Amino acid sequence: MPMSAPASLPPYVRPAPTRQDLEYAPLAALDFSKLDKPGGKEELVADLRAAIDTVGFFYVKNSGINDSEVLQQLALGQAFFALPSEEKEKHSCDFTVGRYFGYR
């Protein structure tokens, strides 16, 4: 069972969809529900290869991660990046000991 977010953590609120008429890049969908079906892993690998070769971007659906878990992670990220730079720098990565990016 996922851990709940601290009570003091402000909830993440998704921004409203844009009202602008924009051209969007096509995205390929990788459907993880195929994993449990006969031949599904092979089909998913082919889908991934096609997405990378033809589109360059993809998204995953039917991952088993529910929306409340996603919103919790977004709330944690939002809270962290709202901290002052001095606080975030306490958690910066030491690039001399590994291949890290950003904060830990």
**Number of neighbours of residue 42 by Cβ within 10 angstroms:** 10
Is the pLDDT reported for residue 101 higher than 50?
yes
- pTM of the shown model: 0.65
- Hey, is 8 helix, strand or coil? coil
Query: Tokens 């890049």, residue?
Result: 25
What tens digit of pLDDT does each residue of 37-66 get? Answer: 999 999 999 999 999 999 888 999 999 999
